[in-house]
Amino acid sequence: MLDQMHVRNVLSQHYDLSPDVKLAESMKDIYDRMDRVVTPPDWVSFAPYVKAINALKKERNAVILGHNYMTPEIFHGVSDFVGDSLQLAMKATDVDADVIVQCGVHFMAETSKILSPEKTVLMPDMAAGCSLAESITADGVEEMRAKYPGAPVVSYVNTTAEVKAASDICCTSSNALQIVNAMESDTVIMTPDQYLAQNIANESHKTVVYWPGSCIVHEQYTAKDLRDFREWNPRTRLIAHPECPPDVVAEADFSGSTSGILKYVTEEKPEKAMLITECSMASNIADELPEVEFVGPCNMCPYMKKITLEKVLYVLHTMDNQVEVDAAVAEKARLSVQRMIDLSRELGI
Ligand code: 13P
Ligand code: SF4
C-alpha cells in the first residue's frame, strides 16, 4: 500500500502542487467539463495536479484509461479514454503508447496487461480491488465445472487473471446476454456475480447457473428503496446497473452497463434521473446533460475511490506499481478475454 506521507514528500520535491487560482482560471476549458459537480475551490486545488499529470503523460508516452466510476477531476481532467469495462478493455488492445495508467480497479489493469503485455501498466493504488474479483479463485471455477460437467464457464471481467485463465470466455455487463446466448450448451456457468447471472437468466433462453459473489455497491439497493423513491418523486426515471439484485432491476425503468446507462440518459433526456449505481457515474455525465436533474441516493465504491490525482501523479513520476501477470496465466486469460472481444465485435456491441 502507498504511504501517503512518502507520496507527498516525493511529489513536493518535484512539483509545486499548492492551490493556484490563476492556474485554475487558465485551465477553464477543462474545468468547464465538470463545473456542475466540482466546486471552484476544489478546482483551484486540483488544477496543479491535472497540469502536472498531463505534462508527464506526454513525457512518458502514457495514456490514462478512466472508468466511468472515477471522480470527475480524474474522469474529465486527466483521462485520455473513458468508458465501461468493455470499452476500456478494447481500448487497451489498440492504444498507441508505452505506458497505460489504469484509473479503475485492479482487475481492469490486469486485463490491460493481459491484452498488451509489451506495455507498462501502472495502477495508482494496488489495493483498489473489487468484491466480485475477490469472491472466487480458479479452484471455484473448477468446482463449478465438476458440478455442471460440459457447461461452458462465462466469467465476468471482474475477476483475477487466474480465474479468466480457468474460464472459457469473459463477459462484461454490456455483452453478457449476447455471450451467454452464443454458447452452444443449454446450461451456462456464470461467475462470479450471482445477480448479473440472475438478470441474464431472466432474459436468456439458457439455463444459467452461477457462483454466489456480489458487488458490495450494487447489492445495497433494495426494491423497496426504489418503490419508496418512486412514490416520493413519481417523475424520476430509475436506471439500474445489472449488478443490482433482480427485484431491483425489475423495479427500474431501464437496466444497463455504465455505457448503457449513459446512452439511455443521453437519448431519453428524462427531466429527473436516479442512477442506481456508483456515485460518480451521475457526476461524470451531469455537465454534458444540463437538462437532466440527477437525484436520489448513491453508493460509493471504496475500491474505485482509492484512485486519486495524487496517486496518479506519483505512479507516473516513479513508475512504481507496475502490474505483472504470470506469462502462462496471461496466455490462457488472453484467450478468454480475446474471445469476448472478438465475439463482441462480430455482434456489433
Ligand atoms: P461496467 O462494465 O458497466 O462499466 O461495470 C463494471 C463495474 O462493475 C465497475 O465496477
Ligand atoms: Fe467491484 Fe462493485 Fe466496486 Fe465495481 S462497483 S469495482 S463491481 S465492488
346 grid coordinates: 462480430
Burial of 49 (0-12, 13-18, 19+ CB in 10 A): buried
Least distant ligand from the CA of 305: 2
Q: Is residue 232 part of a domain?
A: yes
Domain that holds residue 187: 133-215+326-347
- Answer yes or no: do 11 and 113 share one domain: yes
Q: Is residue 193 part of a domain?
A: yes
Least distant ligand from the CA of 157: 1
Q: How remote is the CA of residue 84 from the centroid of ligand 1, in Å? A: 6
**Cα–Cα nearest to 316, from 20, 127, 33, 58:** 58
Q: Is residue 142 part of a domain?
A: yes
- Answer yes or no: do 337 and 209 share one domain: yes
- Positive or negative torsion for Cα 288, 274, 127, 121: negative
Tell me which residue has its CA closest to atom 7 in ligand 1: 85
Residue 34 has pLDDT above 90, yes or no: yes
pLDDT in tens, 183-193: 999 999 999 99
CA distance 122 to 113: 9
Residue 297 has pLDDT above 80, yes or no: no
- Answer yes or no: do 209 and 338 share one domain: yes
Q: Confirm if 101 and 124 have CB atoms less than 8 A apart.
A: yes
- Answer yes or no: do 192 and 211 share one domain: yes
Tell me which residue has its CA closest to atom 6 in ligand 1: 85
Q: Is residue 97 part of a domain?
A: yes
pLDDT in tens, 132-172: 999 999 999 999 999 999 999 999 999 999 999 999 999 99
Per-residue pLDDT at 1: 66
Q: Is residue 243 part of a domain?
A: yes
Q: Is the CB of 105 under 6 A from ligand 2?
A: yes
pLDDT in tens, 299-326: 999 999 999 999 999 999 999 999 999 9
Q: Is residue 299 part of a domain?
A: no
- Answer yes or no: do 118 and 158 share one domain: no
348 grid coordinates: 456489433
193 CB neighbour count, 10 Å cutoff: 31
In which band, very low, low, confident or very high, does the pLDDT at 296 lie, cut at 50, 70 and 90?
confident
- Answer yes or no: do 209 and 63 share one domain: no
Residue 72 has pLDDT above 80, yes or no: yes
- Answer yes or no: do 185 and 146 share one domain: yes
- Answer yes or no: do 106 and 141 share one domain: no
Least distant ligand from the CA of 213: 2
Tell me which residue has its CA closest to atom 2 in ligand 2: 215
Tell me which residue has its CA closest to atom 6 in ligand 2: 130
- Answer yes or no: do 196 and 242 share one domain: no
Q: Confirm if 64 and 57 have CB atoms less than 8 A apart.
A: yes
Q: What is the CATH number of the domain that holds 52?
A: 3.40.50.10800
- Answer yes or no: do 8 and 126 share one domain: yes
Q: Is the CB of 303 under 6 A from ligand 2?
A: yes
- Structural domain count, the chain: 3
- Answer yes or no: do 141 and 106 share one domain: no
- Answer yes or no: do 63 and 152 share one domain: no
